[in-house]
Structure 1
Amino acid sequence: MQLQLKDSLPFVTVTVGYKGEAVQIQNVLVDTGSASTILASDRVAQIGIEPSADDILYTIRGVGGIEVVYLREVDYLKAGEREVAGFEIEVGGMDYGFEINGILGMDFLTAAGAIINLREMRMDFGD
């Protein structure tokens, strides 16, 4: 799949499946420096992913600052043609002052066998 450069950062579109519904989410940063995958709460709310009273809140820290998130297991997370079933995402506000709807972290990249080719600006997947 083609990587889209925005402000010199690689972005992709992903699809999230949850309880029989699916949504495509654009402007998801491919980030090998992030251990986990986080998606914007307003985007995943479109398919019924919302916080519940039972959720445990976690504080995560990164270059972009501090974010409070909750975890949700989705039916699948898909980038390009690679789908990872039963995948756990973090859900947060993603208010970083620029247009970003998620971060595709190392948890997904390794589970999917991602191969990032920066010369050709592509992300493909091994067997």
Structure 2
Amino acid sequence: MSRRFYPLEERKNFLLVKAAVGSMDNRSKVVKLMIDTGATYTVLPPDLLIELGCDLSSPIRTVNIAAAGGMIKVPIVEVPWFNCLGQRVELFSVIALKLPAAAAVDGLLGMDFLKTQGAIIDVKRARVEIEG
């Protein structure tokens, strides 16, 4: 099995990575995501998801998550494709949620993606290893 290493951007105590999200008609947007091992799901902003053709009024399901103001109900929708750390996933489920402006990122890369890709995060070297 070969190993591939992907550099991460360090910002204070956070690790950031770029990803591409695509629509059915092959439009795509590049987003900057914070790696969040405490997040069960990957999070993307609602306006981006709408722009890519996702229907937030008809989510796959909704989940309750803990936010700064308490528990909130958020929609989970499928993006046609999601590409991050050299891995393209078709029909990838994400939470539609706008993060506070102070976060200075578009969204969060959650454990749903990191686990399924077998990601090993090297915090000291600011990189992610993917076996494939």
| Shorter-chain TM-score range | 0.7 to 0.9
Structure 2 gaps, min length 5: 1-5
Per the alignment, residue 75 of structure 2 pairs with 70
Question: Of residues 84, 89, 92 in structure 1, which corresponds to 2:89?
Answer: 84
Number of residue pairs aligned between Structure 1 and Structure 2: 124
Offset from partner CA, 1:9-28 (integer Å, 9 cap, x none): 011111112213221112x1
1:75 to partner: Cα distance: 2.0
CA contact (8 A) 2:54 2:78 kept: no
Deviation per CA, 1:49-89: give whole Å up to 9, x if none: 3422x335433115x55554211112221113111222111
Stretch of structure 1 that moved more, 64-73 or 84-93: 64-73
Cα 1:2–1:65, aligned 2, differ >3 Å: closer, same or farther?
Answer: farther
Q: Distance in 2 between matches of 1:73 and 1:51?
A: 10
User: Is the Cα contact below 8 Å between 1:11 and 1:29 reproduced in 2?
Assistant: yes
Q: TM (normalized to structure 1)?
A: 0.83
Structure 1 residue 92 displacement after superposition:
1.1
Unaligned 5+ residue runs, structure 1? none
- Equivalent residue for 1:103, pick from 101, 108, 129: 108
Q: Secondary structure at the match of 1:88?
A: strand
